[in-house]
Structure formats: structure tokens, C-alpha cells
Amino acid sequence: MTELRLPEMGLVLLIGVSGSGKSHFAARHFRPSQVVSSDHCRLVVADDENDQSATGDAFDLLHHIVATRLRRGLLTVVDATNVQPKAREALLRIAKDHDVLSVGIVLDVPEALAKARNALRPERRLPDHVIPRQRRELRRGMRGIGREFKRHYVLDGEAEIDAATIVYEKAW
């Protein structure tokens, strides 16, 4: 069983391809108000959480919410794929600017599982190439991920993801 040690105040990035279970994990372990999701931000700015043309505006909003919460001293969890180092970099810079710790939690599931789960989601229709591309981006960035975060965890497969527990620590 993996014990995820998180700071009581800081930034947590969930990292994983579409269908890896980020939103499911976030709902299980965090309060709704602690979770900032790219889908929700897309919905807010475009009335449609699948509208890819709204990505820029959605992430501007997401970054704004993250920065505001961190400034106010609130633990903040980002529910977005975060598979590209560049996407993580922007968020980690916000954490650094607010002098707070960042933790990465990688949800690593087999491609077949992510695809099978998404096939059951009427609200998530992705072109076939998207999950393989996200997996490649994730793989490529994994070597350097230790340098990005003060602490990071890789949960490998559904059983390990489901068994993970969270412990909050005051001092790091």
C-alpha cells in the first residue's frame, strides 16, 4: 500500500492520460472545493467541457484559480492530464511564486484500461490516437520528473491506485 504524504498546504498535480482515473481519484480523496479541473474550467468558459478551442482560456482560468487559492493558503489539487512537462512547469512556477511545496501523483494505467474506460463514457469521445500520444508524452517526461517536484509518487495500475492512502504532514 502506498502512503501518499502530502503537505497540509501546497499544490498537488494529478498526472495521467485520459481515463487513468484522475477525477475518480480526486473525488475519493479530496473535497470538491480543493480540486481544480481543466474540464470544469472548459465548461465554465465554453459551456462545453470537450471544446478544445477553449483550452487556452480554460487554462488561464485554471491558473488564476490555482494562484488565488495558493495565495489564500489553501491546499489545491489540479485535475488535468499534466502529461506534458510544459503544462506542469506553468503550475510549478505558480507554486514557486507562492513559496509552497508541490507534489506530483502519477496514475499509470495500461493503455487498454484507459481506452476501455473511456469507451464507456458517453461524454468523452476521443480520437484513437489521443491516449497513445498522451502516454508517449508521459513516458518521455518521466525521467526528469524527480527534479520537478519536491516529492512525487507513481501509482502503477488500478490496484495500486485504489490502495493508496493519504497522510497529511505539517513539516516537510
**Shortest spacing between CB 81 and ligand ATP, in angstroms:** 5
Is residue 23 near Mg ion by the rule CB under 5 A? yes
Q: What are the CA-CA distances from residue 64 to residues 9, 81, 99, 120 (Å)?
A: 17, 18, 16, 32
Q: Which does 124 bind (CB under 5 to 8 A by kind): Mg ion, ligand ATP, none?
A: ligand ATP
Q: Which is nearer to ligand ATP, 18 or 55 (CB)?
A: 18
Q: Which is nearer to ligand ATP, 103 or 106 (CB)?
A: 106
CA atoms within 13 A on the CB side of 99: 3
Is residue 117 near ligand ATP by the rule CB under 6 A? yes
CA atoms within 13 A on the CB side of 95: 23
Considering only 53-61, 69-77, 87-95, 158-166, which stretch makes contact with ligand ATP by CB under 6 A?
158-166
Q: Which is nearer to Mg ion, 23 or 34 (CB)?
A: 23
| CB neighbours of residue 112 within 10 Å | 9
- The helix (H) or strand (E) run that includes residue 15 is strand 11-15
> Beta partners for 14?
79, 105
Q: Which residues bind ligand ATP (CB under 6 A)?
A: 16, 18-24, 39, 81, 117, 121, 124, 158, 161-162
